[in-house]
Amino acid sequence: MALGGGTFLVQNKVLPGAYINFVSVPYASATLSDRGYATIPLPMSWGPEGKIFTVELADFIKDSQKIFGHAYTAQELLPMREIFKHAKTVHFFRLNMGGKKASCALCSAKYPGVRGNDVRVVVEASEETTEEKPLFDVSTYLGNVPVDRQDKITAMADLKDNDFVVWDDKAELSLTAGMPLTGGEDGAAENAAYQLYLDQAEGYSFNAMGCPSTDPVIKGLFASFCARMRDDVGKKFQVVASNHLADYEGVVSVKNGLEDVEGESAALVPWVTGVVAGTAVNKSATNMVYDGEYAIDTDYSQTELENGIREGSFLFHKVDGKARVLTDINSFISITDEKSPDFSSNQTIRVLDQIANDIAVLFGDKYIGKVPNDASGRISLWNDIVKHHQQLETIRAIENFSPEDVVVEKGDTKKSVVVTDRVSPINAMEQLYMTVWVE
């Protein structure tokens, strides 16, 4: 986000933007944007290095081989399938960098990585070839699957690069039953790659970010990045990490591991990231059935599950043989007058993030530098905020909203406006207390 944003203590901001505080009410004792946008860095053996690339769900299903170098059902794409169970758009980043491209006498692989070693080239004589004018049919294979064919080629310069190889115009075209590419190597996933990813992620919009590392330092880096973006920049999203109790509403800490893996595992992070990103603003992930491919370790006693909730862990438990989300919470547990227990609910955070992101976009697109800060201009902003909140109430994301809950006033300078807002997010039912009188 190029504009200013985040929270404010006093009206002393310099950058144009929307600065929004969410504060719980103390107790006595315009158009809603879409969700489903996620981002995650992962080790890969194919794909661009050093930059984020965006994949839609439909493209992943249809073109996974072209994008990631493997068929949709391949084991190598299990993390991608997990996150796409509930996300619709994912900004990926290839963590391992500095790899080598496979090559042969005719071409080199489009990307570095060991997957390039599975590419081979076949050059056959075309049916219309003659001694005076030799013609070749050139095919590219990935394993045993043909991925490109170019017919009636007279010279290397006639070949067009495809999704898997880049041709060497200086090579000499000759018949070959199969010329494999060799020498492809995966680079290492250095810690610096995580920082490069986070630097680039600042320029993208998403609802959830996955941290695939079990290194406490890397998890802390992601949590700090999230806090800075949420509180200082105004970009609202949540980070999903394994066993990282950050005590912060922006961090979801997944406690469970896998049945066949000893110790901590981050394998469930992609699925949870997709859920956090893709769950609608008026929905909860509580009791959601895990529909991924891993065998989740749910060996927790009732007491351990209760303690897990108290510590701020996102947990799975087994019900009738199926792993389900125990409760849709984040890691926030330090309750204060300004932040009630509601802030530990991911459903509440989804509503608040929706408001913050939508109003910031609305203000940036429609008002900054365009609408005068007079009574009419402030009434227009008030109308837009009220309309936005009424839509949230219509879809049952908030309740008891009154237009009088929104107050738009002139700020301390001629350029500033101050909005005071009051909302009551709705959460899904989780507990039933019932008394039956029997006569």
Are residues 164 and 117 located together in one domain of the fold? yes
Are residues 289 and 343 located together in one domain of the fold? yes
pLDDT at 424 over 90: yes
- pLDDT tens for 178-213 read 999 999 999 988 899 999 999 999 999 999 999 999
Q: Is residue 297 situated within a structural domain?
A: yes
Name the pLDDT band for 355 (thresholds 50, 70, 90): very high
Which pLDDT belongs to residue 130? 81
Are residues 89 and 223 located together in one domain of the fold? yes
Residues in Cβ contact with 150 at an 8 Å cutoff, skipping those fewer than 6 apart? 137, 138, 139, 158, 159, 160
Residues in Cβ contact with 34 at an 8 Å cutoff, skipping those fewer than 6 apart? 88
CA 318 remoteness from chain centre:
26
Q: Which tokens hold the place of 144?
A: 């045993």
Name the pLDDT band for 14 (thresholds 50, 70, 90): low
Q: How far apart are CA 285 and CA 314, in angstroms?
A: 11
User: 253 lies in which domain range?
Assistant: 1-98+188-379
Mean pLDDT, the chain, integer = 93
Q: Which of 180, 202, 217 finishes a domain?
A: 180
Are residues 159 and 263 located together in one domain of the fold? no
**3 state SS of 31:** coil
CA 288 remoteness from chain centre:
19
Are residues 194 and 216 located together in one domain of the fold? yes
Q: Is residue 330 situated within a structural domain?
A: yes
Mean pLDDT of 327-333: 97
Q: Is residue 391 situated within a structural domain?
A: no
DSSP-derived secondary structure letter, 425: B
Residue with tokens 């315009």: 30
Q: Is residue 269 situated within a structural domain?
A: yes
Are residues 254 and 157 located together in one domain of the fold? no
Q: Which of 155, 180, 205 finishes a domain?
A: 180
pLDDT at 275 over 70: yes
Are residues 111 and 43 located together in one domain of the fold? no
Name the pLDDT band for 30 (thresholds 50, 70, 90): low
Q: Which of 140, 158, 180 finishes a domain?
A: 180
Are residues 233 and 331 located together in one domain of the fold? yes
The residue among 278, 399, 401, 420 whose CA lies nearest residue 350 is 278
The residue among 348, 353, 327 whose CA lies nearest residue 226 is 353
Q: How far apart are CA 77 and CA 100, in angstroms?
A: 21
Residue with tokens 């929905």: 283
Q: Which of the residue ranges 14-28, 55-69, 81-95, 393-407 would you say has the lowest mean pLDDT? A: 14-28
pLDDT above 70 as % of the chain = 95
Q: How far apart are CA 202 and CA 305, in angstroms?
A: 35
Give the number of domains in the chain. Answer: 2
Q: Is residue 426 situated within a structural domain?
A: no
Name the pLDDT band for 430 (thresholds 50, 70, 90): confident
Which pLDDT belongs to residue 27? 47
pLDDT at 354 over 90: yes
Q: How far apart are CA 48 and CA 41, in angstroms?
A: 12
Q: How far apart are CA 205 and CA 5, in angstroms?
A: 14
Q: Is residue 112 situated within a structural domain?
A: yes
Q: Is the pTM of this model over 0.85?
A: yes
pLDDT above 90 as % of the chain = 84
Which CATH number belongs to the domain containing residue 121 in this structure?
2.60.40.4290
Q: Is residue 52 situated within a structural domain?
A: yes
Which pLDDT belongs to residue 1? 42
Residue 32 CB coordination number (10 Å): 18
Q: Is residue 437 situated within a structural domain?
A: no
Are residues 12 and 86 located together in one domain of the fold? yes
pLDDT at 6 over 80: no
Are residues 218 and 304 located together in one domain of the fold? yes
pLDDT at 146 over 60: yes
Higher pLDDT pick, 383 / 435: 383
Q: Which tokens hold the place of 165?
A: 């190889």
Mean pLDDT of 98-104: 96
